[in-house]
Amino acid sequence: MSPIPPETVVVIHGLWMNGAEAGLLRHRLSDEHGYPTVLFQYGTFEAGFTVNADRLRDALDAIESPRVHMVGHSTGGLIALAGLQRRSFPRPGRVVCLGSPLQGSVAAERLAQLGELGAAALGQTGREGLVGKVLKDYVPDRDVGAIAGTSSVGAGMMLGVVPLPNDGTIAVSETEAPWLKDHLSYPVTHTGFLVSPEVASQTAFFLRHGMFNRQSPVYKSTL
């Protein structure tokens, strides 16, 4: 029987994804930074945002490590925080949100305005979680850090509504919140979070220290 690791990181993927694209990030967190990971998968179209948040919260209870962290990409970050908001989790840990629209998504709102086609593209989870400010009443019970991207290449730019600077889908301003412990911007696209070694390193640093590494040459704090 394998020993229970003292810390486990739960990785939550973004909208329209299945978690396979987070494989390199998980590898770096585990093999390079010493954090064993598990993947939480959810369906964009099969269930709504709150249902997926509750399922994540249930999944946290099944993890045996005494310290449990979460790393959420895009919508995954919202699901992580919503899961904690809906039912408290007694074990300690930190949360890192990668390109997560904590203030809602202008691109998603524009999609929703396109009628049935836009609504179908967003799915139940996108319609509930990305349109409006689903975390407007959020009060953190642990350290939460956020990383924003500033390389404006992505599907969101085709809608012509995402404020600059942005990662091609989510604006930097949409990733900010007054209750964040730390926030930084990196020159990555919305999908680039998942392959950037610097993002993985900064994520691990926050999980360990509750702040990002200000000695990094590309660090840019926005707090």
Whole-model pTM: value is 0.93
Q: What percent of the chain has pLDDT over 90?
A: 75
Fold of 7-209: Rossmann fold (3.40.50)
Interval 155-178: pLDDT, tens: 655 556 799 999 999 999 999 999
- What stretches in the chain show pLDDT beneath 70? 1, 154-160, 216-223
| Predicted pLDDT of residue 219 | 53
Predicted confidence at residue 154, as pLDDT, reads: 63
Domain boundaries along the sequence of the chain: 7-209
Distance CA 138, CA 86 (A): 10
Cβ atoms of 7 and 69 closer than 8 Å: yes
pLDDT digits (tens, 9 = 90+) for 123-148: 889 999 998 889 999 999 999 999 99
pLDDT for position 223: 45
pLDDT at 159: 58
Question: Could you tell me where the DSSP H helices lie in the chain?
Answer: 23-27, 49-61, 75-86, 106-112, 116-129, 197-209
Predicted pLDDT at 222: 47
